[in-house]
Amino acid sequence: MKSGKCPKCGSENVYFKENPFPIEEARIRLSPLNTSSFDYCVCVDCGYMEYYISNPKKLNKIEKQWEKVSEIDQSRYI
Ligand SMILES: [Zn+2]
């Protein structure tokens, strides 16, 4: 999506903004991350939205604390 093309509808009317919403609002919506800053990409044709954590320290923390999807034993969920 950061390439400027919507993965859902193929539109190129994709807009990007760094941290467009207040800190508290972002915290409420994703409290486990306690993340203060997101970058957003929005397609204004279909409304599809993606957001990215912009703080490398937060990403580093997730890398250390979360489970890597490719290393999870998938049989746990069957
Ligand atoms: Zn779209």
Distance 15 CA to ligand 1 centre (A): 11
Distance 11 CA to ligand 1 centre (A): 5
Q: Which amino acid is at 47?
A: G
Distance 77 CA to ligand 1 centre (A): 32
CA separation, residue 13 to residues 9, 29, 31, 40, 52 (Å): 10, 26, 30, 14, 18
pLDDT surpasses 90 at 5: yes
Model pLDDT for residues 37-58, shown as the tens digit of each residue? 788 999 999 999 998 888 888 8
Distance 57 CA to ligand 1 centre (A): 30
Domain ranges of the chain: 14-77
Residue 29 phi/psi, 5-degree rounding, is -75, -25
pLDDT surpasses 60 at 33: no
Stated pTM of the model: 0.63
Distance 17 CA to ligand 1 centre (A): 16
Distance 10 CA to ligand 1 centre (A): 6
Copy the structure tokens of residue 72.
């999870």
| 14-18/49-53 β-pairing | unpaired
